[in-house]
Structure 1
Amino acid sequence: MTLEERYRKVVERVRAAERAAGRPEGSVAVLAVGKTFPAETIAACAAFGQRAFGENYVQEAAAKIDALAHLDLEWRFIGPLQANKSRIVAERFDWVESVDRLRIAERLSAQRPEGMPPINVTVEVNLDGEATKSGVSPEELPAFMDAVAALPNLRLRGLMAIPSPDAGPETYARMRRLWDEARARRPELDTLSFGMSADIEPAVAAGSTQVRVGSAIFGARDYGKH
């Protein structure tokens, strides 16, 4: 399939998941994850109406953001962020979806240039307590969210999580409970970034407001240069 055909197929899959879950059409956004793909491919996808793009690699993303500044796209950093690269992210990105350490949150707030709007952030949750996965534990989540929300140049928007590949219904139910509890404490929260290509349907049923989709849109990745 062509890039446009893959993109349209993903969007229709999300719309079908919305209908199956009894949710309004358009209530779930697609974040197109463009890591390893060049600026030209991102621009082609933007021509189909896609505005929000997720990136994992800081230097690669910075070059693309600069090259495509004329398109007025929304850029979201979605991977683990090293402290020595936080300034680049603070200066260029609109969102950081993977905040799970207060030190990183504090650096992003301090390094956001004067005159720019606050960085939108979601807190990454480690749903299953996996030692190899980033994220704040559910038990630590309320206090961590309070600390992030208090930082002056960040705007706390919600939660993000990556279920394990073998996650069952209980994992999605747990995420829904955490999301409901978070919004009960902070009604202004509006973003649950939850679900990828393999689990769009259960994620949407659990309340996701955004799914992160990469290869299903762009095709196979070449990680050789990373």
Structure 2
Amino acid sequence: MHKIDDKLAKVTARIHQAATAAGRDPQTVQLIAVSKTQPAAAIAAAYASGQRRFGENYLQEALEKQIALQHLPELEWHFIGPIQSNKTRAIAEHFSWVHSVDRLKIAQRLNDQRPAHLPPLNICVQVNIDDETTKSGVSLAELPALITAFAPLTRLALRGLMAIPAATGDPAQQRKAFAKLRSALQVLNLQGFKMDTLSMGMSGDLESAIAEGATFVRVGTDIFGTRA
């Protein structure tokens, strides 16, 4: 586990350098350590190095790790995977953020099932920025209608947009995709919405994402390595 602190430091340095190069305050970019398939011990090691935000894709696995790590204060759990209707209650009860909402039905269920004693659930709407048939997400054309439909969902805090663009090693193409998401957020905010979050960028493209305004980057392998 001692390697995790070194890898975490390298990722943090990349974020700092990318933000500085883009003329941004590095503090405006937050790291979500994607801990799916990793053991609780790996999360604890990253926590010991100062990491507090963790992203999970698989609900049952995440709940088990939350129980194992409940003694650690200030852990912030982000659900970043596809959401099935029968999983919404547990997600609403046990996470602070959900980055992968792309249907009104899911949003309504999360809203109705968010416990009253907890603050509103922070939500990012997932956008299929490149219209890939293999990926989840609402299209850019359908995005305004979905965002508007959030108005009565008072147990949700609509924070922004998330995307996973088509994989490419070309920084120009990476930035083009991320710019589309940034532009979509700007247009919605000009229409009166008050969203402040762009969840975009992973291990291979976080520099491009930060250059285009990412406020969350989601990094897994470059911190934890691959699961044996």
Shorter chain as denominator, the TM-score bin is: over 0.9
Output the amino acid matched with 1:35.
K
Indicate conservation of the 8 Å contact 2:127/2:161, yes or no: yes
In the alignment, what sits opposite 1:176? 182
In the alignment, what sits opposite 1:135? 137
Output the amino acid matched with 2:15.
V
CA RMSD in angstroms, aligned pairs only? 1.4
Name structure 1 gaps, 5 residues minimum. none
In the alignment, what sits opposite 1:65? 66
Indicate conservation of the 8 Å contact 1:149/1:155, yes or no: no
1:157 is aligned to 2:163: no
Q: For residues 151 and 119 of structure 1, what CA distance do their matches in structure 2 show?
A: 10
| Percentage of identical aligned residues | 52
Q: Residue 192 of structure 1 is aligned with which of 192, 198, 202? A: 198
Indicate conservation of the 8 Å contact 2:178/2:200, yes or no: no
- 3-state secondary structure, aligned to 1:197: coil
What is the count of residue pairs matched by the alignment? 222
Q: For residues 173 and 116 of structure 1, what CA distance do their matches in structure 2 show?
A: 34
Q: For residues 86 and 130 of structure 2, what CA distance do their matches in structure 1 show?
A: 28
Q: For residues 47 and 30 of structure 1, what CA distance do their matches in structure 2 show?
A: 15
Please report the TM-score for the alignment, with normalisation by the length of structure 1.
0.94
- 3-state secondary structure, aligned to 1:19: helix
Q: For residues 151 and 162 of structure 2, what CA distance do their matches in structure 1 show?
A: 15
Q: For residues 11 and 219 of structure 2, what CA distance do their matches in structure 1 show?
A: 8
Q: For residues 186 and 212 of structure 1, what CA distance do their matches in structure 2 show?
A: 28
Indicate conservation of the 8 Å contact 2:127/2:140, yes or no: yes
Output the amino acid matched with 1:109.
N
Describe the superposition over 1:110-164 as per-residue Cα deviations: whole angstroms up to 9, x where unpaired: 1112211111000001111111111111111111112124212111000000011
Q: Residue 205 of structure 1 is aligned with which of 200, 203, 211? A: 211
Indicate conservation of the 8 Å contact 1:30/1:212, yes or no: yes
Name structure 2 gaps, 5 residues minimum. none
Indicate conservation of the 8 Å contact 2:16/2:26, yes or no: yes
In the alignment, what sits opposite 1:82? 84
Q: For residues 102 and 144 of structure 1, what CA distance do their matches in structure 2 show?
A: 7
- 3-state secondary structure, aligned to 1:70: coil
1:43 Cα deviation from its structure 2 partner: 1.1
Indicate conservation of the 8 Å contact 1:122/1:156, yes or no: yes
Describe the superposition over 1:65-122 as per-residue Cα deviations: whole angstroms up to 9, x where unpaired: 1221221300000000111111111110111100001111111111112211111000
- 3-state secondary structure, aligned to 1:69: coil
In the alignment, what sits opposite 2:113? 111
Please report the TM-score for the alignment, with normalisation by the length of structure 2.
0.93
Q: For residues 191 and 75 of structure 1, what CA distance do their matches in structure 2 show?
A: 16
In the alignment, what sits opposite 1:219? 225
Q: For residues 109 and 176 of structure 1, what CA distance do their matches in structure 2 show?
A: 26
- 3-state secondary structure, aligned to 2:36: coil
Q: For residues 181 and 123 of structure 2, what CA distance do their matches in structure 1 show?
A: 18
